[in-house]
Amino acid sequence: MKFPPTALAFVNLGGPRDKSEIVPFLTRLFSDRETIKFPVPATFQPALAGWIAKTRLKKIWPQYETIGGGSPQYRYSLAQMEHIAKNLKPGRPHLQFELVFRFSFPLTEEVVPNLLKNGVNRILTVPFYPHYSSATTGSSVNELKRRIQESGKQVELELVPAYYNAPFFVEAWSQKISSLLPRLKNRSKSRIVFSAHGLPQSIIDKGDPYLDHIKASVAGIMDTLGHPLPHMLAFQSRVGPIRWLRPNTLDVLRELPRQGVDEVIVVPISFVSDHIETLYEIDVTFADLAAKSGIRQFLRAEGLNEDPFFLDGLARWIEDHMKSIGWANP
């Protein structure tokens, strides 16, 4: 069977690769009301976003310097996509593979026109977000729709389902956590802290499934591990004056020593690759606070990054979905 030209668009928020990209990245991020809706009229948010981005540069640039001068998300995402392409491309010459970032290069507004020039009339969105949210996957899909509509061309757009409870995702994280358990000195004084990226509470209140997806991931991982020690769920990366999901990871790390806990394993459950929120927020900010609060051993589960078990599983997940919608031979 011959299939029409099809692109697999691997979507993520993105991140600045160097100092020159920080302000444009933050401006795009804070301008998107699907991601963060500030309590101002929609017409004012882009101007506010630009002001916030410029004022944050002085604070955030040293953080990026600490982790190498820019976000590694592009590098990791490219490696992940190339691994998956090696699994899916053989025997499927109609497939193209593209990274599509929401707020940094390669931007949706640049990638989509190039795909359409190459004759693509089917796009399968592959989220590098394991858990669905209107602020992440939803925002990326909506931007794809807008750019396709601008082109005036007829393009079929499909979405690979979220994989928050898929066996390969649950098992991949279970392996990362299991490798750290032998390093704990006293499990009775230890905790696993699942740290997920936060969201404004208002998004959840509107029925967004993100929180339920995160909780399902945590439950699956703990069941797979056999509940070797108590665990908690917390949220990081809060921005602005609006109410976000609670508890905040920083607050949890302050409180745990008061409960007699002096060893923690932090698991960045909502990310599939390392970037500023793991390499700096967790590894530097959280680790420093934990030490000052009385936590004797602070461990962070290694990111999924280029883990072949995770990527082979995601490739099978994508392939199964393609077959289910008739975009690949059964």
Question: Can you point out the beta strands (E) in the chain?
Answer: 6-12, 95-101, 122-127, 156-159, 190-197, 231-236, 263-267, 297-300
Residue 148: pLDDT band by 50, 70, 90 thresholds?
very high
Position 330 pLDDT exceeds 80: no
The Cβ of residue 45 has, within 10 Å, a number of other Cβ atoms equal to 19
**End-to-end alpha-carbon separation of the chain, Å?**
11
Cα distances (angstroms) measured from residue 243 to each of 33, 138, 232: 15, 21, 20
pLDDT in tens, 15-68: 999 999 999 999 999 999 988 888 889 999 999 999 999 999 999 999 999 999
pLDDT in tens, 81-109: 999 999 999 999 999 999 999 999 999 99
Residue 1: pLDDT band by 50, 70, 90 thresholds?
low
Same fold, 6-163+308-324 and 167-300: yes
Across the range 268-275, mean pLDDT stands at 98
- 6-163+308-324 adopts what CATH topology? Rossmann fold (3.40.50)
pLDDT in tens, 206-219: 999 999 999 999 99
pLDDT at res. 36? 82
Domain ranges of the chain: 6-163+308-324, 167-300
SS3 label, residue 246? coil
Bridge-partner residues for 193, per DSSP? 232, 266
Q: Does domain 167-300 have CATH number 3.40.50.920?
A: no
Amino acid present at 143? E
